[in-house]
Amino acid sequence: MKFSTLAVIAFSIVPFTSFAQFQKIDNLRPYDKTGINVFEDPKDSSTTFDGLKLKFGAGFTQQFQNLKHKNPGALNNNIGSFNPAVPGNRLKIITPGFQTAQANLYMDVQLADGIRLNITSYLSTKHHNETWVKGGYIQFDKLPFNGKIWDDIMEIATIKIGHFEVDYGDEHFRRSDGGSTIYNPFMEGNIVDEFATEIGGQVMLRKNGFFGLLGATNGMIKGNVDSLYAASNPDGDYKKAPSILLKGGFDKQVMDDVRLRVSASYYGNQSSGGNTIFGGDRSGSNYQYVMELNSANPSSTSGAGTPLAFSGRFNPGFSKKVNTVMLNGFLKFKGLELFGTFEAASGRTSKETDTRKMNQFAADAVYRFGKNENLFIGAKYNTVKARLANTAVINYADDVKINRVAAAAGWFLTKNVLLKGEYVVQKYEDFPTQDYRAGGKFNGYVIEAVVGF
């Protein structure tokens, strides 16, 4: 969708946005500071309905980046570093500057009592320079059926159907997502980014702090019925299997000053045409161009920025088959928050016959203080160990490692406005010498100004 078209739409809705913006939508995670540490959408079965309601929201992020990167043999970070073992492994030249601003648009509609609709669009991101619809879904916290049995079921059940963010693990509730960065005290999510939008449905049950979820999706980032599916599966297996999602845990305010949440998640697909659970982000990384080859073209025919969209991340490449488990723990004691992730995954591409493994660990501590906890400081450690994908030419037999340490601080001027900064160091270890990431490192700081409402 072109900007001119967006402008027409924007001006056409101006007369009623002031009214629509303040409409209350039931069971919706707020897009401002009050949505921090909210995981699944809240559940309130005591709602009533007095007519259709419409609410618009948005997330805006502007960043200034001062990062440097290098690999062995770097003469000067500012003129492009290189690995002398492979002359073509020169890194992209990066200098301090502002990144392209990012923006998300949210439309939420209360269709009936306990029934709401969401559509989220990326207006401006690193990944695409045109507007993309992230997804849309309908959520049922009540059903329009008469009978006590339905009331009893929906007292604890939430049903979601559509094209939505896969609820695998808890990290995706804290990561940055395009213009929506207000939930994340840091700049980025995990090195291996667990995020995808897929078509399907899920049912979640909650009672007395315990919760469980069962879901099934098409296992791909979009719909697929055409012959391209065959082209992307050289192994000759054209069977498309659904992805199965399981999740369970406990989340409760166990004392006045103590909240505890623990969860375990499973996501699996045994035959996908292009699974993206570790690479399904349509917005892109918040570290721009770090550890990217100088020859890579950010304006290629595959879309402006697309080849360099995921700088600083690592995708294990489990596009054909994937089975992954994540354990999460969250503890909040007064202003102190501790959040941890352990992840174990295995899978392969359609070019491989054997599965590979990937393990990831992440832990962060955030301390919030000041009036209404409007100030915070935090530190995060993240490490990944994985086997690189095999190709027809090279067989990487050893695991590679990536480590990240980040320190951050932030200030909420209001519940809708945040200024935050981060200093990060990330290192690449045990990569083959012919790989441009061998011995690589990037470090520096990023500052973000964020608005969410």
pLDDT in tens, 371-396: 999 999 999 999 999 999 875 444 55
- Asked which of 22-31, 124-133, 135-144 is least confident by mean pLDDT, the reply is 124-133
Residue 304 has pLDDT above 70, yes or no: no
Q: Say how far apart CA 259 and CA 243 lie, in whole Å.
A: 32
Name the residue among 101, 99, 162 with its Cα closest to residue 311: 99
Enter the DSSP assignment of 90: P
Query: What burial class does residue 14 get, using C-beta atoms within 10 Å of its C-beta: 0-12 exposed, 13-18 middle, 19+ buried?
Result: exposed
Segment 220-243 shows an average pLDDT of: 75
Q: Say how far apart CA 236 and CA 215 lie, in whole Å.
A: 28
How far CA 79 is from CA of 60, 90, 94, 188, in Å, comes to 32, 10, 8, 26
Enter the DSSP assignment of 175: S
Can you give the pLDDT at residue 174? 96
pLDDT in tens, 236-268: 677 889 999 999 999 999 999 999 999 999 999
How far CA 428 is from CA of 67, 70, 307, 316, 441, in Å, comes to 16, 10, 20, 14, 6
Q: Say how far apart CA 296 and CA 309 lie, in whole Å.
A: 11
- Distance, CA of 69 to chain centre: 24
Under 8 Å between Cβ of 385 and 401:
yes
Name the residue among 394, 395, 363 with its Cα closest to residue 378: 363
Name the residue among 107, 214, 220 with its Cα closest to residue 159: 214
Residue 362 has pLDDT above 50, yes or no: yes
Can you give the pLDDT at residue 296? 73
Query: What burial class does residue 391 get, using C-beta atoms within 10 Å of its C-beta: 0-12 exposed, 13-18 middle, 19+ buried?
Result: exposed
Under 8 Å between Cβ of 21 and 56:
yes
Q: What is the mean pLDDT of the chain?
A: 88
Q: Say how far apart CA 320 and CA 92 lie, in whole Å.
A: 31
Return phi, psi of residue 428, to 5°: -115, 125
Residue 58 has pLDDT above 90, yes or no: yes
Secondary structure class of 169 (helix, strand, coil) = coil
Return phi, psi of residue 365, to 5°: -130, 130
- Asked which of 133-142, 212-221, 292-301 is least confident by mean pLDDT, the reply is 292-301
Can you give the pLDDT at residue 21? 57
The upper half-sphere exposure of residue 100, i.e. CA atoms within 13 Å in the direction of its Cβ, equals: 19
Enter the DSSP assignment of 152: H
More confident residue, 98 or 17: 98
Under 8 Å between Cβ of 193 and 278:
yes
Under 8 Å between Cβ of 387 and 357:
yes
Q: Say how far apart CA 247 and CA 170 lie, in whole Å.
A: 10
Name the residue among 230, 229, 27 with its Cα closest to residue 114: 27
Residue 32 has pLDDT above 70, yes or no: yes
Name the residue among 371, 385, 366 with its Cα closest to residue 174: 366
Return phi, psi of residue 4, to 5°: -60, -40
Segment 279-293 shows an average pLDDT of: 92
- Dmax of the chain from CA atoms? 74
- Torsion 5-7-12-13 (CA) sign: positive
Residue 307: partners with Cβ closer than 8 Å, 6 or more residues away = 296, 297, 298, 300
> Hey, what are 109's tokens?
């509609």
> Hey, what are 378's tokens?
């935090």
Residue 152 has pLDDT above 70, yes or no: yes
Partners of 212 in the β-ladder: 205, 248
Residue 78 has pLDDT above 50, yes or no: no
> Hey, what are 214's tokens?
């069962």
Under 8 Å between Cβ of 265 and 326:
yes
What is the Cα Rg of the chain in Å?
Answer: 22
Can you give the pLDDT at residue 294? 84
Share of the chain above pLDDT 90, in %: 72
Name the residue among 341, 346, 325 with its Cα closest to residue 168: 325
Name the residue among 452, 453, 446 with its Cα closest to residue 186: 446
Residue 3 has pLDDT above 50, yes or no: no
Q: Say how far apart CA 72 and CA 369 lie, in whole Å.
A: 42
